[in-house]
Amino acid sequence: MNQQLAVISAYIDLVDTFDTNPEAYAAVLHPDVEQTEYPSILNATIQRRNFTEILENIRLAREILADPSSP
């Protein structure tokens, strides 16, 4: 497996397991990464997240999906 594919696979594995370990993400994401989410049914405006906010968003998703009935 080439290096780029290994990085992508590692990132997908982290997100798939809702891992929020900053050190694990530091191995696959640049510290200045910016995630851009375009408008959708969930968010009417463009959302931008930095490294810390990406991890926080994954943590929130993990909690929501662990108990989807919680408000």
Does the pLDDT at position 57 exceed 80? yes
Average pLDDT of the segment spanning 5-32: 94
- Separation between Cα atoms, residue 63 and residue 21, nearest integer Å: 15
How is 6-46 classified by DSSP, letter by letter?
Answer: HHHHHHHHHHHTT---HHHHHTTS-TT--EEE---SS-SS-
| H/E segment holding residue 49 | strand 47-49
Residue spans per domain, the chain: 3-66
Q: How does residue 61 score in pLDDT terms, banded at 50, 70 and 90?
A: confident
Distance of CA 57 to the CA centre of its chain: 6
pLDDT tens digits, residue range 19-43?
999 999 999 999 999 999 999 998 8
Residue 69: partners with Cβ closer than 8 Å, 6 or more residues away = none
